[in-house]
Amino acid sequence: MDARRGFLFADTPQIARRAAPIVRLRNFTRRFGANTIIDKLDLDIAPGEFIALLGRSGSGKTTLLRTLAGLDDSRGQDVTVPAARAVVFQDARLMPWKKVWRNVTLGLRGRDTRARAERALNEVGLGHRLDAWPLTLSGGEAQRTALARALAREPQLLLLDEPFAALDALTRIRMHELVLSLWRAHSPAILLVTHDVDEAIALADRVLVLDQGRIVGEERIDAPRGERDGIARDLRETLLNWLGVKPGQAGEGNGVVRLAAARP
């Protein structure tokens, strides 16, 4: 479907592409000393949009994500983000001295926090682990708990910082399916930071490539998820070209293209 005509995202919850952006950055710049990390960046994210952000190490991905998460001060700049937002990191960051449901409710207030945790854990398939200790969880279960913690906050913006990178291939595929099912059910805007080109192609509505603090490439993907094999090869080549990676230079295994081998 044609984004320029304001139709709905292919395979996306009922969110129109012409809706007012839920995230808006204009001429955003971030410097640390003499180093410019983000350079006059403009970015819009629509409600319910699923964006994947690619970039080599040092390109500014983490700095951008921290800004959107509210972890870095953006006062004095033209930055609009929703108050309801949540982050899932590569490490699940669970407190080992708190049971699973209490990890899900960290920072939440109200009398119904356990009920909210239970609902979120049921959605990620961990309702039976409500009273478990984090050290008894597998890697995939720990990441599902982190997703439940984000889900319990009912975010309008969900930020995913390479949350599948440490998982084995089979668990990663299951996590992809879970994230998509939660996204369809709750319709948050999602920004996924990843080094995995094929992951970006499989999951996102739009793929952005960040280099030296600027967006140097953008690709919209209108083909429904699960039906992208026909465009994957050409799109992969385009994205790798923007990333400065020559064919055969990126790490490939089990059909997955990752950028780790191409980092400077």
* Average confidence (pLDDT) over 234-259: 70
Q: What percent of the chain has pLDDT over 70?
A: 86
Of 78-82, 97-101, 245-249, minimum mean pLDDT range:
245-249
pLDDT score at 3: 34
How sure is the predictor about 13, in pLDDT bands with cuts at 50, 70 and 90? low
Side chain identity at 224, as an amino acid letter? P
Three-class DSSP category at 46: coil
Strand 256-258, strand 251-253: pairing = antiparallel
Whether the CB-CB separation of 9 and 205 falls below 8 Å is answered with yes
Of 24-28, 99-103, 179-183, 260-264, minimum mean pLDDT range:
260-264
- Retrieve residue 78's tokens: 């033209």
- Retrieve residue 181's tokens: 């099912």
Query: Is residue 223 scored above 60 in pLDDT?
Result: yes
> How far apart, in whole angstroms, are the C-alpha atoms of residue 204 and residue 52?
6
pLDDT score at 129: 95
> How far apart, in whole angstroms, are the C-alpha atoms of residue 143 and residue 162?
11
Three-class DSSP category at 191: strand
Query: Is residue 52 scored above 90 in pLDDT?
Result: yes
pLDDT score at 4: 29
- Retrieve residue 219's tokens: 């690709």
Q: What is the pLDDT of residues 88-126, one digit of tens each?
A: 998 899 999 999 999 999 988 888 899 999 999 999 999
**What are the extents of the domains in the chain?**
3-84+155-241, 97-149
Chain centroid to CA 218: 16
Report angle CA 260, 229, 247 to the nearest 5 degrees.
40
pLDDT score at 34: 86
The whole model's pTM is what?
0.86
pLDDT score at 139: 92
Chain centroid to CA 248: 26
> Considering only CA atoms, which of 74, 30, 69, 16 is closest in space to residue 205?
16
* Average confidence (pLDDT) over 37-66: 92
Whether the CB-CB separation of 257 and 250 falls below 8 Å is answered with yes
**3-84+155-241 architecture in CATH?**
3-Layer(aba) Sandwich (3.40)
> How far apart, in whole angstroms, are the C-alpha atoms of residue 107 and residue 130?
17
> How far apart, in whole angstroms, are the C-alpha atoms of residue 101 and residue 82?
26
How sure is the predictor about 43, in pLDDT bands with cuts at 50, 70 and 90? very high
What is the overall mean pLDDT for the chain? 86
pLDDT score at 107: 87
Q: What percent of the chain has pLDDT over 90?
A: 66
